[in-house]
């Protein structure tokens, strides 16, 4: 995990609210990989002090230069940021997937299917088919 976590996550299991300073290449790649998996907006603080907020949708560590791509908040235009320009990564936006899991989704769908089957059974009884 990147070094120097400045703030604690907003919720257990979520990176929301965390800020990682990237002191070396390993920290940087780890923070970027986590940002790529994150489903909310992030804020990159660049070495020149500029802050770039948006949704990180691509990273390329083998490109010349290594870089990330973000959809800037409030715009549909992607922005390319060289990795060498990144000082820190903040998980600034809400994580819409926090607290949601595959098991929860499966349970919800099973419940919906069961309710639909019961509704159809009752309709069939009303029509005299059962």
How far are the Cα atoms of 36, 60, 78, 122 from residue 74, in angstroms, in the given order?
A: 19, 24, 11, 49
Q: Are residues 23 and 63 in the same domain?
A: yes
The domain that contains 59 carries what CATH number? 2.30.30.100
What is residue 130's three-state secondary structure?
Answer: coil
* Residue 29 predicted with pLDDT over 70: yes
Residue 64 belongs to a domain = yes
pLDDT at 87: 95
- Structural domain contains residue 81: yes
Instruction: Looking at the structure, tell me whether residues 23 and 82 fall in a common domain.
Output: yes
Residues 82 and 118 both lie in one domain? no
Q: How many CB atoms lie within 10 A of CB 87?
A: 16
How many folded domains does the chain comprise?
Answer: 2
Do 83 and 38 belong together in one domain?
A: yes
Tell whether 8 is covered by a domain: no
pLDDT over threshold 50, residue 4:
no
Task: Tell me: do 51 and 76 sit in the same domain.
Answer: yes
pLDDT above 70 coverage of the chain, percent: 87
Where does the pLDDT of residue 110 fall: very low under 50, low under 70, confident under 90, or very high at 90 and above? very high
Specify whether the CB–CB gap between 78 and 71 falls below 8 A.
yes
**Enclosing domain of residue 123:** 100-130
Whether 25 and 81 map to the same domain: the answer is: yes
pLDDT tens-digit readout, 78-97: 999 999 999 999 999 887 76
């Amino acid at each position: 995990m990147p070094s120097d976590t400045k703030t604690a996550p907003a919720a257990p299991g979520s990176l929301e609210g965390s800020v990682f300073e990237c002191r070396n290449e390993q920290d940087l790649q780890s923070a970027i990989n986590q940002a790529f998996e994150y489903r909310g907006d992030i804020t990159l603080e660049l070495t020149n002090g500029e802050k770039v907020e948006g949704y990180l949708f691509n990273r390329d560590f083998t490109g010349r230069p290594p870089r990330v791509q973000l959809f800037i908040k409030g715009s549909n235009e992607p922005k390319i940021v060289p990795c060498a320009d990144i000082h820190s990564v903040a998980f600034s936006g809400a994580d819409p997937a926090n607290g949601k899991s595959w098991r929860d989704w499966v349970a919800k769908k099973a419940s919906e299917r069961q309710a639909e089957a019961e509704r159809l059974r009752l309709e069939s009884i009303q029509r005299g088919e059962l």
